[in-house]
Amino acid sequence: MSELSSDIGIGGMTCASCVARVERAIAKLPGVESVSVNLATESARVTWAPSQTEEDSQTQQARLRRAVRDAGYEPLAAEHLEQASMDAWAGFMPVAIGLMLSTPLVLPMLGDALGQHWMLSELWQFVLATPVQFVLGARFYKAGWHALLAGSGNMDLLVALGTSAGWALSVWLWLSAPVGAMVHLYFEGSAVVITLVLLGKWLEARAKRQTTDAIRALHALRPARARVITLDGEVEIPIEELLVHDRMVVLPGERFAADGMVLEGQTQVDEAMLTGEPLPVHKVVDSSVTGGSINGEGRVVVLVSATGTATVLANIIRLVEDAQAAKAPIQRMVDQVSAVFVPVVLVLALATFLVWWFMGHSAEVSLIHCVAVLVIACPCALGLATPAAIMAGTGVAAQHGILIKDAQALEVAHKVETVAFDKTGTLTVGQPRLLSLHAISLDEHALLSLAASLQSGSEHPLAHAVVQAAKAQGLSLATSEVIKAVPGFGSEGTVQMRHLLLGSLRWMATLQLAAGEWQARAEALQAQGATVSVLVERTAQGLVPLAVLAFGDEPKPGVQEALAKLRVRGLRLVMISGDNAGAAQAMAARLGLRADEVHADVMPGDKAALVKSLQHNPHGAQHVVAFVGDGINDAPALAAADVGLAMANLNADGHRGGTDVAMQAAGITLMRGDVALVAGALDISARTVAKIRQNLFWAFAYNAAGIPLAALGYLSPVVAGAAMALSSVSVMTNALLLKRWKP
């Protein structure tokens, strides 16, 4: 059995140290293979060893929730962020209360600057600051206490220690002062720090909701109900009750509730949610439709082929969620830093107190500087830097038809030096036409009928071309038997008691077909750039050539310009084709590729080996290679490449053919067959990685500059609290700038 993955939402995490703590707690559970906790999505992705029974799975979930709770956090539904209120002011009440209670404490400081004396009495300062400290700040005490019990530290512990020290110092100065004496207290510092931290967390939560816009928008594409045809006529049912093989009625303007095939009617369908392409797609009988897309002006009846988690939309949502839940390799460095960050800060804070005290300053002054160090050092921004950028980058890419399956592909794509393309269906339309059939024996119509009958069960583009040519001439197809596809060569089977083979010249050479008139004809067609196949009959006397078939394909619209733009980026381009050298070179010339950039006569199983050879140059240096393909036979090469990009092409009948297999092997899926999206995928990778580096720079810069300034006495606890809150908000805001990206 394969490994099982599960997701769980986690409430109460505040910084990178929290992430490390939750990961350690979950990793200790029996059966856990790996765990990845994401601060920005407030969730964990857990991979379990194969479970033997359903009861084991339920027990695992219970243990998982218990481990999260024992670590000091709240287990939530995995979809809690998507379900969160979209009200812009949701969760602001604690911040508002904190502002109301803290403002009277701060105003006297402003009054002093204006020559006014608005100082509140010590009792009023205590009354206003204490609820902020212990009611609004209770979350920091609770989380900090759990961190201590677990033998670790986090942001909450730093805030709780720092503000408690300021509050306790103020109480001690107030109670120990002579009667009638005017003492300077620090209640306002502790109250304002807690309020600013709460404000920063609220702004951060608002930004998080924006980073999940892509997921929320995808979920919203699924209608709640579907209209199906039953024995009682048309009936509306909840989408959860929809079954495969149901006949579903979709009216103009409605969304398709599930994947299926058109049985009746024709229409235009808006598939922008899938492909990023704004132009509607014409659908007729036998065309496939996708759940979540919008029906145009026609009423259609659809035979349901997939529901629930098996639909294309559900797969897209899963891919985006997987990418947003995953950790980029660069995050490992952050995890290592965060593991030791809080203990180091506690030591620095204690050292600050002792140094100031030994230098002859009062315990009061020493403690204030110690508090400033504790407050400004909170590693919130450090934990958000990477996941926030990944969420924003993968989300905006999905809106433009680029699905990034994992964070590693996102991080590596911008380093690509060589882009290798499969030819048929990737650079070309992938719907070759039968240009000519040259009969060696028998009548051309009879031979075309035989060839089409042999190919009628094949998914290969050349097979489709033969069948379409036969149908266009009104030829009837005979029933074929014992059909066998020979990968990379052709098809073999029995039609009307005749044992036929139809395949490439390479196959004919392997079979040692005797040379003759057919060979001269085939070589002449190859020289003209055609793809050539030979129809052969196996008889008691051996192989007898019957016909030579010539096929032609067309470049995709705009592909030459797209390749030119990739070349401008300094990328090396390579075309890999199973076609003969003549056909491959002829197409390369039309695409603007050089002769040395073409690899022809490459068997499907050899594509992966060729990709690996491109990754190593003669001098031993490593090259980062991307492979772009669209079919089942491209899957090994997509997996072998540093970055695999699967192109989700539609066949002539509206089906995706082998694209789904390619999507599973690739790190990035291009939801429409547009080569220009390759540059878009590399560009969003570069921009996302740039945002990650910017965020990490600012996160480290805040602490690198702030901690020494606080230790030297240049920052008060209030300024430190404001700087700490600003660091988290600035990191989230910088990541959200990616939402403006367009390919």
Tokens at residue 305, please? 């082929």
What is the CA angle 284-275-226, rounded to 5? Answer: 55
Q: Quote the longest CA-to-CA distance of the chain.
A: 123
State the Cα–Cα distance between residues 8 and 17, nearest whole angstrom: 18
Residues paired with 418 in a beta bridge: 572, 625
- As a whole number of Å, the CA-based R_g of the chain is 33
**E strands of 197-314, at which residues?**
225-230, 233-238, 247-250, 259-264, 267-270, 281-283, 288-289, 294-295, 300-306
Close Cβ partners of 151 (under 8 Å, ≥ 6 residues apart)? none
CA-to-CA distance for 254 and 269, rounded, in angstroms?
Answer: 10
Q: How far apart are CA 675 and CA 690, in angstroms?
A: 24
Q: Cα separations (Å) of 345 from 664, 707, 713?
A: 44, 9, 16
Residue 414 near residue 397, CB atoms below 8 Å: no
- Determine the Cα–Cα distance for residues 344 and 364; give it in Å rounded to an integer: 23
3-state secondary structure of 425: helix
How many other C-beta atoms are found inside a 10 Å radius of the C-beta of residue 482?
Answer: 9
Tell me which H or E stretch contains 574. Answer: strand 572-576
Using CA atoms of 390, 391, 392, 398 in order, give the dihedral in degrees to the nearest 10.
Answer: 100
Which residue among 335, 422, 674, 683 is the active-site one? 422
In the chain, what is the straight-line distance between the N-terminal and C-terminal CA atoms, in Å?
40
| Cα–Cα separations (whole angstroms), residue 481 to 316, 485, 495 | 38, 12, 6
422 catalytic, yes or no? yes
* Surface-to-core class of residue 130, CB atoms within 10 Å of its CB (0-12 exposed, 13-18 middle, 19+ buried): middle
Tokens of 241: 């009750």
Contact in structure between 289 and 266 (CB atoms under 8 Å): no
Catalytic (active-site) positions: 422
